[in-house]
Amino acid sequence: MSIIRIAIDGPSGAGKSTLAQAAAAALGCIYVDTGAIYRTIGLHIWKCGADPANTEAVAAELPRLQVELRYENSRQRMFLNGRDVTEEIRLPEVSQYTSSVSAIPAVRSYLLEMQRELARTHSVVMDGRDIGTVVLPDAEVKIFLTASAQARAHRRMLELERRGTPQPYEEVLREIEERDWRDTHRSAAPLQQAADAVLLDTTTLNFQESLDALLKIVQERGNVHEAI
Ligand code: DC
C-alpha cells in the first residue's frame, strides 16, 4: 500500500474543508486542514496583542509557540501550548488575524515541515492555499476548488447562523472579498492554481455533486485503486 497525497487549494468558503473531509473518509486517508494550523498562530497573535502585520513582532512570538495537531475520532484538533483551541480558532477575529499572519514568510516556513511530515507518514487529503504549489508540489492529485464570492458568502452566512454567530450577508461578502484579495496578492506563497491542478468550480453544485466531482477527479488522476 503506497501513500497517496491529494492537495486541495482554493479561496476561503469554497467548501474545501467539508469536501476534503468527506473525500478523506471515502478514500481512507487522513484529512489535514492546514487553515486550522495557520489559525492557531493567528489566535495566539490576537491574544497576545501583537500587530499581525508586523513581521518582526510576529516572528518573535514563534519560538514561544507549541502548535500541535492531534486526531480524535478521525477529527483534527488543534492545540496551542497544550490547550485545545479547536473551536476558538473559528472566531471571525481569528480569521482576520490569520489572513495577515499567514502572509509572513517566517510563519510559512515555521509550518512547512509540520505539514510535509504528515504527508510523509500518511495518505492525506490536505487543503489550504499553497498545498499543490509549495507544500506538496509532487502530490499525486491536485485540485483547485473554487466558487463565486457571492456563493461562498451565502454558504458562509448559513454556516455562521448554524453556529449561533450570525452575520449579515453584506458583511460576510466584504470579509470574503478582503481575504481573497490578501490571500492572492501576498508575495509569500500567494493563492494560485498549480499548473497541473484540476479546476473544480462548485458555484452551481450542491454538496453531493461537488463530492462526486471531486472523487471522479481523484479516480482519474490518482490511480486511486492501486494506491490505497
Ligand atoms: O482555510 P481557512 O479559511 O481556515 O484559512 C485561514 C487563513 O489561513 C486564510 O486567510 C489563508 C491562510 N492559509 C494559508 O495562507 N495557507 C494555507 N495553506 C492555509 C490557510
pLDDT tens-digit series, residues 83-100: 999 999 999 899 889 989
- Tell me, rounded to whole angstroms, the distance of Cα 83 from its chain centroid: 21
Residues in the chain: 228
Task: Return the amino acid letter for 120.
Answer: R
Say if pTM beats, i.e. exceeds, 0.75: yes
Helix, strand, coil shares, percent, the chain, to 5: 55, 15, 30
- For atom 6 of ligand 1, which residue has the closest CA? 35
pLDDT tens-digit series, residues 100-123: 999 999 999 999 999 999 999 899
All three cell numbers of 48, joined, read 497576545
Question: What is the structure's pLDDT at 6?
Answer: 97
Pocket test for ligand 1, best of 58, 98, 176 (most atoms within 8 A of CB): 98
pLDDT tens-digit series, residues 136-186: 999 999 999 999 999 999 999 998 899 898 999 999 999 999 989 988 898
CA of 223 to the centre of ligand 1 (A): 28
Three-state secondary structure call for residue 176: helix
Three-state secondary structure call for residue 41: helix
Three-state secondary structure call for residue 33: strand
